[in-house]
Structure 1
Amino acid sequence: MAVTHGSLSQAGASPRPRKRGLQPGQLLRLWISRVIIWAVIIVVLIPMWFVFTASFDPSNSYISVSFFPAHATFANYRALFQGGQFLVWVRNSLFVGLTVAIAQSFITALSAFAFSKLRFYGRKYGLMVLLLLQMFPNILSIAAFYSALAKLNMIDYLGSYILVMLGASAFNVWLLKGFMDSIPKELDEAALIDGANTWQRFIRVQLPLCLPMLVVIFFLTIVGAFGEYLFAGTILQSPSNYTLGVGMYNLISGQFAKNWGEFAAAALLSAVPLAAVFALAQKYLTTGLVAGSVKG
């Protein structure tokens, strides 16, 4: 029996997979979720738009009835940079943020490794006590910190402020310890068999695996240092030591004049360093935020 070329091609052709469409209920839930997401985005962007328009408004008004100022100028930005005070605030904030983030990342990594992989007296309840102490509001400890620093003549020093900020690492230790607990213990056992000591296990085994989570901790610490005002406003008193939080508060704390335009311009410009850090560390942030969520 003769077999035509067309019949062979039809017989050898594999059936195409049929596209599976969404059910009516699934399609409705999809559109509802999209509407909710866009509504949330709009609600978040509205205050940011007010800040953006206020930074170009020469009337020094924080809220304008118009969608965009009629006579938009860069006067607020020029006034902000006059005298170089804003650059001093940015420099101090960057110095404090980077120093605290680097030191806290190192301290957090060491502490989390000890609580996760080592066995010592007080290990079971030590981290819990630290976490409970961290839960107390910071405002309750301001008087104690100020009194201790005043007795040691350490008021109005960036180093004193950094020292106080380094104490807020209990939550990071708890977070990183949970991630280290998910690392297979067979890696440590293999390193011990190869003759590695405790320091080598930490540097060569645990630390490379914890790099994405450490980047998350580093970024969150910088964000917290940039936005912190409570301790900075208490410890730092000289204009040359002001951070962004203290300097920007002084722009709107005057009794007879509140520089809302300059404040809005400073708020926009202060977000530039954080946006740059986020752009550089985005790959590690997305990896670290989901790290340890699935075991096996």
Structure 2
Amino acid sequence: MQTKNMRKIIYHVLVGGFAILLLYPVIWLIMSSFKVSQRIFITADSLIPDPFVLSNYVQGWQGFGDYSFGTNINNTVIFVILVLIGHIISCSLIAFGFARLKFAGRSFWFAIMIMTLMLPYEVVMIPQYIIFAELGWLNSLKPLVVPAYFGHPFFIFLLVQFIRTIPRELDEAATIDGCNTFQIYYRIILPLIVPALATTAIFTFYWTWDNLLGPVLYLNSPSKYTVSMALNMFLSNETASNWGAMFAMSVVSLIPVFIIFFIFQRYVVDGISTSGLKG
């Protein structure tokens, strides 16, 4: 009994120490947001702000020009919602087709789709930019949102694996009851893949919220800047960077991320673990 208790103590000490090690950068970021900007790196080895100031949050929220940081948050929320809706609809439909429908070349097209996971974004970045420029979509959310309505290979694969765990007998029973293919999708399959859809939504939120490269490529007007672009504007190669304001707004931008994670973390675990099974 003593040996078992000792193992538990050692385990919790090690896990707790590892958790503190992982959380230290976040703690340092939060504490540095209350330091005077010029002293952040001078006192980088100390977590305690001296002096303790709130001006970084005031300056950061004021933003740049006529647009406050709240404008950037609103732009990002709209961006995230549109992409999230696109991924949920397109990926679930495509995954249903690969998992349940029989058509010529299904295995071939599924393999091609999986291969695109290994394709770096830098390879298609310039061709996509040229296409969107020809369409007149620059300086708008269209180049960032419209591709989401044509599926994402990672989420399609995740949902395909999840759908394959659902017994086909349910499809056959629904067919006997008079359901067509689309009715099977939204009445039978869609309600049963909610954990995988939640995982898709959460990862879409994370990846879209902190996306910098896409908005930098396609957005030119400050009124349309996202959170990641606004944070980047606090840094300057010509004048002194406002590190305090950037750290303060970084903390603000992390609040939605933490809220979403703590509320929906159970769905992430359920969605990924179940998708790894094969029925």
Above 0.5 in TM-score? yes
CA distance in 2, matches of 1:232, 1:168: 19
Match of 1:212 in 2: 195
The whole-number CA distance in structure 2 between the counterparts of 1:258 and 1:181 is: 52
Correspondence 1:1-296 to 2 at 5 A: 21=1, 24=3, 30-63=8-41, 64=43, 65-82=45-62, 83-166=66-149, 169-292=152-275
* TM-score (norm: length of structure 1): 0.85
The CA deviation at 1:166 is 4.8
- The residue identity in structure 2 corresponding to 1:67 is L
In structure 2, what is the Cα distance between the partners aligned to 1:208 and 1:59?
50
Does the CA contact (< 8 Å) of 1:54 and 1:60 recur in 2?
A: no
Q: Residue type matched to 2:55 in 1?
A: A
Whether the 8 Å CA contact 2:72–2:225 is kept in 1: the answer is yes
Question: Which segment drifts farther, 279-288 or 83-92?
Answer: 279-288
Give the number of equivalent residue pairs: 274
Identity of aligned residues (%): 28
Q: Distance in 1 between matches of 2:118 and 2:251?
A: 31
Q: Which is higher, the Rg of structure 1 or of structure 2? A: 1
> Do 1:96 and 1:162's aligned partners in 2 also have CA atoms closer than 8 Å?
yes
SS in 2 for 1:275: helix
What runs of 5+ residues in structure 2 fail to find an aligned partner?
A: none
* Cα gap change, 1:171 to 1:286, in 2 (>3 Å): closer
Moved more, 233-242 or 132-141: 132-141
**Using the alignment, how far apart are the partners of 1:250 and 1:141 within structure 2?**
26
CA spacing shift, 1:171–1:295, aligned 2, 3 Å: closer
Contact 2:90 2:150 in 1 (8 A): no
Contact kept, 8 Å, 1:216 with 1:285, in 2: the verdict is: yes
Aligned to 1:16: none
The 1:128–1:33 alpha-carbon spacing in structure 2 relative to 1, beyond 3 Å, is: farther
State whether residues 139 and 230 of structure 1, in contact with CA within 8 Å, keep that contact through their aligned partners in structure 2: no
Distance in 2 separating the partners of 1:207 and 1:179? 11
Q: Deviations over 1:11-33 (max 9, x none)?
A: xxxxxxxxxx47x4x65654443
Change (3 A) 1:90 1:201: same
Cα distance in 2, alignment partners of residues 61 and 169 from structure 1: 44
Q: Quick one: structure 1 residues 84 and 279, their matched pair in 2 at CA, closer, same or farther if it must change by over 3 Å?
A: farther
Gaps of 5+ in 1: 1-20
User: Within 2, Cα distance between the matches of 1:127 and 1:255?
Assistant: 49
Deviation at residue 133 of structure 1 after TM alignment: 1.9
**1:221–1:62 distance in 2 versus 1, CA, 3 Å:** farther
Measured after TM superposition, the shift of residue 286 of structure 1 is 4.2
* Kept after mapping to 2: 8 A contact 1:127/1:170: no
* Counterparts of 1:137 and 1:228, CA distance in 2: 15
